[in-house]
Amino acid sequence: MTTTNHLFGVLAGQLADTETGWSLGTYGAIAEFTRDVGEPAALHKANGAIALATARGGLRLEVSPELRLVASEQPTTESWNHRVALCLPHHACAMNGRAAFTEIGADADALRDEDRNGVLFDLGLGTLQVDVCVRSLDPEVVTALRGCSGTSVLTPGNEAMRIILAANPHRVFLSRVGRAEVFQPIPPPGGKSPTGPHTHLLPTLLASRRTHAATERLPDGWVPCAHIYPPHPLRDGLGKPRPFRRDHHAAFNALLERYGAPEHVALKRRVVDSIMAGRGPSEVLLPADRFSRATVRVALRQLLASDRSSTALAAWLSAYDRIDPADAEQPMVAPR
């Protein structure tokens, strides 16, 4: 049985790992939080919440009895991604859903003492599981933003976005599982997001009104409010290739065994066991739905990356994946 104490321990352990990335938000509007090895950070634990802040941004996570972790993997063009969603039931995840740019008031719950007199403004995106806000201590900026109330920041004619891009106020994303704050400057239009904490606001994706990407399998009725991105076996925190890390692979598999969809965990294990036993794809009957196919492809790519090449694996790759073993990412095995 998963208890709140257990979940708190899992989240605290992931937050303590500098290679773990985080996001909080919805489809089309997310705040991302990462930190560097050795980067000064203040960690606080109290009343079922854990928070960590650096000079570039911060994150607070709150554990409730309704919180559920859901681990999943998805194939990518070259390898695979993995993540753990922090989910709440649909009835428990809803935020304020404001559809107009709105002043909220002083941010008394800010992660840092010096930001608690800053004034929060909701952008008015009308999203379900997150209130997307900005915060400023600058009286001139606050006055200017107050004049933008009444319509969404995305409404033509609303001056809020122009003011925000010029003033670079803090971005604050609020959800029922916590908050993310970003202190770094907003990149100019067409510019590249900085490394470390940053945000993305994509109107085209927001217009779909989805709570998450269609490629992420989640139980019916559950909504992701945040995500954990544990260290990846083939990529570092900046997405650069590195030698295959068996420890990271094993660590995420342990999360997947506990928090993944049982049918897909069992399917992945079945595929791996079949290949290790030398059975070809024609000898094993597999489900053909979208998520099952993705599970099979991830299992094959992980075997290839971990240097488990075999005649059986080559046959499975030919049958279920577009990757040719001769052209695939070469396995780079680091010491255990």
Task: Give the mean pLDDT of 231-236.
Answer: 95
The band of 323, judged by pLDDT with boundaries at 50, 70 and 90, is low
Name the pLDDT band for 322 (thresholds 50, 70, 90). low
189's CB contacts (< 8 A; 6+ apart) are 165
- pLDDT confidence of residue 324: 42
Residue 30 has pLDDT above 90, yes or no: yes
With bands split at pLDDT 50, 70 and 90, how would you rate the model's confidence at 332?
very low
User: Which stretch of DSSP H or E encloses residue 70?
Assistant: strand 68-75
Rounded Cα gap, residues 123 and 25, in angstroms? 13
Of the two residues 259 and 334, the one the predictor is more confident about is 259
Tokens matching residue 322 = 């577009």
Which range is least confidently modeled, 145-154, 304-313, 325-334?
325-334
Least confident of 55-64, 72-81, 242-251, 319-328: 319-328
Q: What is the residue-averaged pLDDT of the chain? A: 92
The answer on pLDDT for 2 being more than 60 is yes
> d(Cα 226, Cα 243) in Å, to the nearest integer?
28
Percent of the chain at pLDDT exceeding 70 = 95
pLDDT of residue 326: 40
Asked whether the predicted pLDDT for residue 272 surpasses 50, the reply is: yes
User: Would you place residue 45 in the very low, low, confident or very high pLDDT band (cuts 50, 70, 90)?
Assistant: confident
The yes-or-no verdict on residue 325 having pLDDT over 60 is: no
Dihedral angle of Cα 137, 140, 145, 147, to the nearest 10 degrees:
140
Q: For the segment 68-101, what is each residue's pLDDT rounded down to a tens digit?
A: 999 999 999 889 999 999 999 999 999 999 999 9
> Residue 134: pLDDT above 90?
yes
Residue 1 corresponds to which tokens in the numbers above? 């049985």
Whether the predicted pLDDT of 335 surpasses 60: no
| CA–CA dist 44, 176 (Å, integer) | 18
pTM comes to 0.92
Whether pLDDT at 209 is above 70: yes
pLDDT band at 296 (very low <50, low <70, confident <90, very high): very high
Give residue 329's pLDDT: 39
Angstrom distance (rounded) from CA 60 to CA 15: 10
Residue 290 has pLDDT above 70, yes or no: yes
Cα–Cα distance measured from residue 8 to residue 215, given in angstroms and rounded to the nearest whole number: 27
pLDDT tops 80 at residue 15: yes
| From 45-49, 58-62, 165-169, the region with the lowest mean pLDDT | 45-49
Give the whole-angstrom CA distance, residue 60 versus residue 42. 11
Residue 292 above 90 pLDDT? yes
Residue 1 pLDDT = 60
Domain definitions of the chain by residue range: 261-320
Alpha helices, DSSP H, located in 110-209: 139-146, 160-167, 203-206
- φ, ψ at 201 (rounded to 5°): -130, 110
User: Using CA of residue 298, residue 15, residue 259, residue 175, what is the dihedral sign?
Assistant: negative
Average pLDDT over residues 114-138: 98
With beta carbons less than 8 A apart as the criterion, state whether 107 and 119 touch.
yes
Determine which helix (DSSP H) or strand (DSSP E) holds 252, and give its type and residue range: helix 246-259
